[in-house]
Each structure stands twice: as structure tokens, then as C-alpha cells.
């Protein structure tokens, strides 16, 4: 039965007795819900992030109705204008994010809430990270690995080898921060970046590159991709939540054997490539995010051409140690 009548037709006073605070990427987020399934999904994503003293908490409220969806949920791209972003998967499953107020309200049906991976991929992660980005960060589609406290951002299109190279570096003693989503902390003069270091996601083909991955079973993600997602602790990786960026590296990966080389990249070329990155929020927030990205163009910028991961790691090591 739909709770659409009575003295509270919009559900303002629906009790959300389950509460938990998380620190995604080191920033506080308060979750309120009436469903254990939502808490379990959020714990899986964010419980490993340590508590930090950073800033005011974003608020995520998830109401789970006591009925199943009348129609199967239909995933669609979020839509936004100014400070509002909507995530709509049908009449019964949706979320509205107010980035200016750092507040998200989601309404889900019982059957959808039980699918923890679906809820994580389509609702919890987008809403949580959008709010935190809008308040504190600038997103960058790059993996991140650090050597002796100096972080290298590995930027490239899908298939450029960002995750594989970050992991290859971790196997050689580097510190891992993120596989494909690194975030610049706005307003910091030391070019601090934060990541999501407690999980790493590989394409199924990575098992051909790294024999130790063969014991992990690929799974079909809600977006249809067949991936392997692993807790970094299971691989014995050294991880860090944040570091100071010292280099921006554009990846140029070749399948055929190719000599490894590093070449400088003009800032104008780098700016053109980064111009495609999407910022979220009202114009003030988006301007701040673009300004933070522009500041990173003052880092040393290079292109790494490679086919061999060991050779690429050696080149990156020489780059970082040479700058120290």
C-alpha cells in the first residue's frame, strides 16, 4: 500500500531511526534511513574510511517503502541544473540532490533496497560523492599512486591502463590512492589529492597481467561491465587516503611492443584535454572546481608512452625521484 494519504502525504515525518556517520574520502556524511539494507550497503562502501575532523557533514536521507516496485527500475543518466541533480529510475525509485545544501533525499522500494550493489552504484555513491565534491573537491578522472609522499596522477581515457599501472606501481612498493577517481582538495596550497584507497577495480583481462588476480571471480556490475573488485588489504597493498600531487602524467598505452618514453606536454595541450572534465553544482561551485583544476596545470606535465608495465613503473620512479 502506498503511503500517499493522511496527515503527512509527502512523508516529511517518516521516522528514519537508523543513523550512521561515514567519512568518504575523509569528509563527513550523515546517513539516515529506515532500512538495514541501506546501512549494510553504505558500510560496504564507506566504513573503512577513518574519521577525520574535516568540515560540515553532508546529509543523505533514504526512505525505503514497504512494497516492491510496480515496474522494474530503469537506470538512466542523472540530470542536473544549477545546484539540483535528479537520479530517477522510475516512479518509485529516485533521488534528488541539493548540492548547495549538501542534502540528498532518496526514495526506494523494498526490492531495490535489497540489491546492495544496485543501490551502491546508482544511488549511494553518486549522491554521496556529488555532495562532497560540490563542497570540498574537484573530481579528476585519474588514478593516483605515490612514492615517498609524492603523488603522481595518471590520466587517460578508458582503456589507457590507469588502474593496471597504479597496481603495478603498488606491487613495487608505491602507495595506492585511487584506481580511476582522484579528487583535488580545493583551497589547499600544497596540491592535496584524496582517493578511495580501500578497493581496486580491474577489468577481467587484468588476470592475464597479474597472476594473483586469478583467484578472484569477475562479477557483472550494475552498469553491465564484467569487473573484478577487490579490497586492497586482500592484495597486501600499501594505501593512503591523501597525498601531495607532484606530477600529472597522460598515458599513451600501446598493445604492440613499444619503447617506454616520457615526454613533456605543453600546458595548453593539457588544458585542452582536461577541459572535458565535468564539474557539478551552481556556477560558483563549478568555477571553484575549474580553478582548482587550472592550478594543477602548474605541475610538471608529461606523456608516458609504454606497452610494458615494468618499464612504465621504472620510468615513473625515475621521474619522481629525479624531482626530489
133 and 147 share one domain? no
Residue 151: what pLDDT? 97
Residue 276 lies in a domain: yes
pLDDT in tens, 135-146: 999 999 899 999
Residue 1: what pLDDT? 45
99 and 191 share one domain? no
What average pLDDT does the structure give for the chain? 92
131 and 181 share one domain? no
End-to-end CA distance of the chain: 65
Domain stops at, among 137, 169, 185:
137
Residue 279: what pLDDT? 81
pLDDT in tens, 171-228: 999 999 999 899 999 988 899 999 999 999 999 889 999 999 999 988 887 777 889 9
The residue that leads in pLDDT, 90 or 323, is 90
295, pLDDT greater than 80: yes
> For the whole prediction, is pTM greater than 0.85?
yes
276, pLDDT greater than 50: yes
Residue 190 lies in a domain: yes
Q: How many domains does the chain have?
A: 2
Among 36-50, 56-70, 265-279, the minimum mean pLDDT is found in 265-279
Domain that holds residue 272: 141-323
Domain stops at, among 71, 103, 137:
137
Residue 1 lies in a domain: no
**Residue range 162-175: average pLDDT?**
96
5, pLDDT greater than 70: no
- For residue 169, the Cα-to-chain-centroid distance in whole angstroms is 20
Residue 255 lies in a domain: yes
Residue 14 banded pLDDT, cuts 50, 70, 90: confident
Residue 50 lies in a domain: yes
Residue 58 lies in a domain: yes
Contact 13, 42 (CB under 8 A): no
Amino acid at each position: 500500500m502506498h503511503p500517499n494519504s493522511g496527515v503527512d502525504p509527502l512523508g516529511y515525518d517518516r521516522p528514519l531511526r537508523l543513523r550512521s556517520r561515514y567519512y568518504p574520502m575523509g569528509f563527513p556524511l550523515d546517513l539516515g534511513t529506515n532500512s538495514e539494507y541501506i546501512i549494510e550497503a553504505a558500510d560496504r562502501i564507506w566504513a573503512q574510511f577513518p574519521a577525520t575532523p574535516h568540515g560540515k557533514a553532508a546529509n543523505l536521507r533514504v526512505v525505503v517503502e514497504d512494497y516492491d516496485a510496480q515496474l522494474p527500475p530503469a537506470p538512466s543518466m542523472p540530470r542536473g541544473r544549477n545546484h539540483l541533480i535528479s537520479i530517477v529510475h522510475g516512479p518509485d525509485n529516485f533521488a534528488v540532490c541539493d548540492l548547495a545544501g549538501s542534502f540528498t533525499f532518496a526514495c526506494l522500494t523494498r526490492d531495490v533496497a535489497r540489491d546492495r550493489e544496485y543501490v551502491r552504484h546508482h544511488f549511494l555513491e553518486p549522491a554521496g560523492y556529488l555532495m562532497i565534491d560540490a563542497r570540498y573537491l574537484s573530481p579528476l578522472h585519474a588514478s593516483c599512486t605515490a612514492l615517498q609522499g609524492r603523488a603522481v596522477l595518471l590520466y587517460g581515457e578508458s582503456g589507457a591502463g590507469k588502474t593496471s599501472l597504479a597496481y603495478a606501481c603498488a606491487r613495487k612498493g608505491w602507495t595506492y590512492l585511487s584506481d580511476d577517481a582522484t579528487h583535488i582538495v580545493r583551497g589547499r596550497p600544497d596540491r592535496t589529492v584524496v582517493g578511495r584507497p580501500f578497493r581496486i577495480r580491474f577489468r577481467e583481462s587484468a588476470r592475464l597481467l597479474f597472476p594473483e588476480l586469478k583467484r578472484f571471480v569477475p562479477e557483472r556490475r550494475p552498469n553491465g561491465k564484467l569487473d573484478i573488485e577487490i579490497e586492497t588489504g586482500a592484495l597486501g597493498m600499501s594505501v593512503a587516503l591523501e597525498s601531495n600531487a607532484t606530477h600529472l602524467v597522460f598515458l599513451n598505452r600501446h598493445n604492440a611492443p613499444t619503447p617506454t618514453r616520457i615526454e613533456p606536454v605543453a600546458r595548453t595541450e593539457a588544458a585542452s584535454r582536461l577541459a572535458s572534465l565535468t564539474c557539478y553544482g551552481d556556477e560558483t561551485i563549478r568555477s571553484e572546481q575549474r580553478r582548482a583544476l587550472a592550478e594543477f596545470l602548474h605541475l610538471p606535465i608529461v606523456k608516458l608512452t609504454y606497452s610494458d608495465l615494468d618499464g612504465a613503473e621504472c620510468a615513473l620512479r625515475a621521474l619522481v625521484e629525479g624531482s626530489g
